[in-house]
A and B are shown apart, each in its own frame.
Chain A
Amino acid sequence: MSGEVATHSAEDTQPQRTAPIGLLITAITSLRQGVIPIAIGAYTFRDNLVGMGGVIALLLVVFGVSVGIAYLSWLRRTYTTGTEDIRVESGIISRAARSVPYERIQDVSLEQKLLPRLFGLVEVKFETGAGGADDLKLAYLTEDQGEALRRLIRARREEEAASAAQVAGEAAVPEVEDEEADTIFAMDTQRLTTFGLFEFSLAVFAVLGGLMQYADTFIGIELWDVDLWQGWIESQSGLLSSFGFVAQIAGVVAGVVALIMIGSVTGLVRTFLRDWGFVLEKTARGFRRRRGLFTKTDVVMPTHRVQALVLGTGWLRYRFGWHGLKFVSLAQDAGSSSHVVAPFAQLEEIEPIIRAAKFEPPSDDLDWRHASRKYRFDSTAIEGGIFAFVAVVLATLIGTGIIGEGFAYAAFLPLIPLSLSIFFTGANLYAWQFHRHALSGSQIFGRKGLISPATRVASRVKLHSVEIVQGPIAQRRGYATLHLGLAGGAFSIPGLPIKRARELKSAILHSIASRDFSQLS
């Protein structure tokens, strides 16, 4: 069509409406929704002509109104392709105007469902970094209009790409040369075995439990019937007691050993299935990870898409120096797969991976800061206080004899929440010194966790927004939570002294503002 030739002419900067045939589709769709009520109505009033007429009239009115609304909203929906952005304005009573700059459009997709296809219509979707539900959609355009729009946007994108390439010309060349892939992390069978043992899991019992419940209904034996088991145990207990005390102890030990065995085997099997032949390579395009025994996966993660790193561990493996490294990638990729790049490695193995992703590993030389001491006091008081309160209430109730009559150990019941209260108070006070954060020239670090610390590392320029949030207590006590807008993940630092929060905010904002989103990738 001549449509694409005219794309740069003035007429396109005028607001345009979507294709009028689209109305027909809306009408048909609403008719389709009406089929079931019609059928029900027709059935109910099959002997009653007046009722039948009423149903039909009602349906006609509903249909008429929905078509009318569709017409009005069609009339009020316009799109404009300007020199810098595309805008869509819509709404009959409420008005919504969306502007999407060409620079931010990652891709234009044309989608045809069956019905629009019959009429030669397409739904045009403009994908931006914001991703998902917030994207701009235009339904429906004719195929030519859609194609012309796509071409127009591609052309605008290319103009920019050309000018951007001139700037980045020198930088682009060496990247192309470096084509071979270097393996930067791999796990052999021995490593997998160690990993599997740390992945100890009793999940198999949950699965077995589920299966047994399922089997219940088929076998007809009430597996959960206490009487059945009690009867069985009683019938066997004579035999059991005849073995004597030592044998009983041996039985318990054997049971525990069996439990450990089953848990370890479960962990091993799961680990082998998932991480068999784990290889992480660094290629020109980015990171490439392959793993899996039966289901092999091959994931490529471009380096520039790595937004942040999460360095995690487990409470036991941490004592042996084992850690895991995960990438936080752009929002669009988040759903597809987890971006574990080193599930089980020593820190000195992880460090090169971090550097390959153009990040700096966290070190002790950084200026690590703690959360506010007031925050420590408040959060400890709240957590410990809740349980202490429960203990007091329970003690009062039992003391006055309202509950717990006839229960021999009632007097000891309040001790449970009381000990929990003491535990949480202690844990909070102690854990405080392990919660810390640091700011370096290009990155921000946040560390959490007492027995299994996790460190997050985000690149300052790759953040999207900064927010300081203060609850009612925090406002009076002068601390705040800092939330960083990270694509594909969350990053927040709680309990910062307000002054420090403002410092971090202005430092990070300075980094963000120094580079535009389009220069990040």
Chain B
Amino acid sequence: MDENTDAAPPVVAPAPEQTPVVEGLGDDQALTELHPNYKSALRLQAILTSIPFIVGAFVLEGQAILPTASIMIPVVLIALAFIIRLPSRRFHARGYAMSTDRLRVARGILFRHDTVVPFGRVQHIDVNQGPIDRFFGIATLTLHTAGSHNASVHLPGLGEPLARDMREEIRSHIKREAL
């Protein structure tokens, strides 16, 4: 299996996508969109989350306590909203901008969070992949800082090679700054 290739270090992977480094301060420039597969991953997550509720609704429906379909219809409608509408809204609300010395991460529909971490403050870097992420070939990049607020800033939904590239880029910057 691919066990060995996975465990091997990511030797300068021939990246299909280049790290979109934007010159300048990166505070106001346009955000880069996440990997399109991220929307599918969010959708799959929503489906998995809504399954127990739908099953529960079925069971309640079977008890025939309330008039027919009075539980089923709202539950299914809400689940559909969560599966169809929300992932794409969340996807469009998220984005990042990587500039020469900092990473900006934006997220949130109701509560907008716009976070900037200068590379010079990064303590260590994680690239994480859950099972769903691996299926869709995406990964989460996490930057850890020493601050109490925003101790770790997560950027999900990057293409896996891109996440690794970005890690290299940020790490090399730490080295450059320190010397």
Query: How far apart are the CA atoms of A131 and B124 in the complex, in Å?
Result: 11
* Among listed B41-49, B60-68, B82-90, B111-119, interface-contacting one: B111-119
Report chain A residues within 8 Å CB of B149.
465, 467, 483-486, 490-492
The majority secondary structure among interface residues of chain B is mixed
Instruction: Answer yes or no: B17 CB below 8 A from chain A CBs.
Output: no
Query: How far apart are the CA atoms of A502 and B27 in the complex, in Å?
Result: 8
Decide if B118 touches A512 in the complex (CB within 8 Å). yes
Report chain A residues within 8 Å CB of B117.
464-465, 485
Query: How far apart are the CA atoms of A130 and B153 in the complex, in Å?
Result: 12
Instruction: Answer yes or no: A469 CB below 8 A from chain B CBs.
Output: yes
Decide if A516 touches B120 in the complex (CB within 8 Å). yes
User: Could you say which of B25, B120, B145, B175 contacts A130, with CB atoms under 8 Å apart?
Assistant: B145
Decide if B171 touches A95 in the complex (CB within 8 Å). no
Report chain A residues within 8 Å CB of B28.
502, 506
Query: How far apart are the CA atoms of A42 and B162 in the complex, in Å?
Result: 55
Query: How far apart are the CA atoms of A415 and B4 in the complex, in Å?
Result: 73
Decide if B171 touches A99 in the complex (CB within 8 Å). yes
The smallest beta-carbon distance between A487 and chain B, in angstroms, is 5
Contact residues of B between 21 and 40, Cβ < 8 Å to A = 25, 27-28
The smallest beta-carbon distance between B86 and chain A, in angstroms, is 16
User: Could you say which of B126, B146, B148 contacts A517, with CB atoms under 8 Å apart?
Assistant: B146
Decide if A517 touches B171 in the complex (CB within 8 Å). no
Given contacts A76-B7, A330-B146, A471-B111, whether A464 and B121 have CB atoms under 8 Å apart is: yes
Query: How far apart are the CA atoms of A486 and B145 in the complex, in Å?
Result: 10
Contact residues of A between 495 and 521, Cβ < 8 Å to B = 502, 505-506, 509-510, 512-513, 515-519
User: Could you say which of B126, B133, B172 contacts A98, with CB atoms under 8 Å apart?
Assistant: B126
Instruction: Answer yes or no: A136 CB below 8 A from chain B CBs.
Output: yes
Contact residues of A between 72 and 101, Cβ < 8 Å to B = 75-76, 78, 80, 82, 84-85, 87, 89, 91, 93-101
Instruction: Answer yes or no: A193 CB below 8 A from chain B CBs.
Output: no
Decide if A469 touches B123 in the complex (CB within 8 Å). no
Instruction: Answer yes or no: B50 CB below 8 A from chain A CBs.
Output: no
Query: How far apart are the CA atoms of A513 and B104 in the complex, in Å?
Result: 13
Report chain A residues within 8 Å CB of B129.
91, 94-96
Decide if A516 touches B174 in the complex (CB within 8 Å). yes
Decide if B116 touches A467 in the complex (CB within 8 Å). yes
- A131: nearest residue on chain B (CB-CB)? B146
- A94: nearest residue on chain B (CB-CB)? B130
Decide if B9 touches A80 in the complex (CB within 8 Å). yes
Given contacts A465-B115, A509-B102, whether A331 and B174 have CB atoms under 8 Å apart is: no
Query: How far apart are the CA atoms of A350 and B46 in the complex, in Å?
Result: 55
Given contacts A93-B131, A505-B27, A510-B25, whether A485 and B144 have CB atoms under 8 Å apart is: no
Report chain A residues within 8 Å CB of B148.
331, 334, 485-490
The smallest beta-carbon distance between B145 and chain A, in angstroms, is 4
The smallest beta-carbon distance between A163 and chain B, in angstroms, is 7
Report chain A residues within 8 Å CB of B126.
96-99
Decide if B110 touches A512 in the complex (CB within 8 Å). no
Query: How far apart are the CA atoms of A78 and B9 in the complex, in Å?
Result: 9
Decide if B113 touches A469 in the complex (CB within 8 Å). yes
- B101: nearest residue on chain A (CB-CB)? A513
Contact residues of A between 420 and 456, Cβ < 8 Å to B = none
- B26: nearest residue on chain A (CB-CB)? A509
Instruction: Answer yes or no: A380 CB below 8 A from chain B CBs.
Output: no
User: Could you say which of B151, B164, B175 contacts A134, with CB atoms under 8 Å apart?
Assistant: B151
Decide if A130 touches B144 in the complex (CB within 8 Å). yes
Interface residues of A (CB under 8 A from B): 13, 15, 75-76, 78, 80, 82, 84-85, 87, 89, 91, 93-101, 103-104, 128-131, 134, 136, 160, 163, 330-331, 334, 463-472, 475, 483-492, 502, 505-506, 509-510, 512-513, 515-519
Q: Which 8 A-B residue pairs are closest in the complex by CB-CB distance?
A: A485-B147, A464-B147, A129-B146, A516-B177, A130-B123, A100-B124, A516-B120, A464-B145
13 A-B contact pairs sorted by A residue (CB < 8 Å):
A13-B9, A80-B9, A91-B129, A95-B6, A97-B10, A98-B127, A103-B175, A130-B123, A130-B145, A134-B152, A334-B148, A465-B147, A483-B150
| Besides the known contacts A76-B7, A485-B150, 17 further A-B residue pairs in the complex with CB atoms under 8 A apart | A96-B128, A96-B129, A99-B124, A99-B126, A104-B174, A130-B123, A130-B124, A130-B152, A331-B148, A464-B121, A464-B150, A465-B117, A467-B114, A487-B146, A506-B27, A509-B25, A512-B120
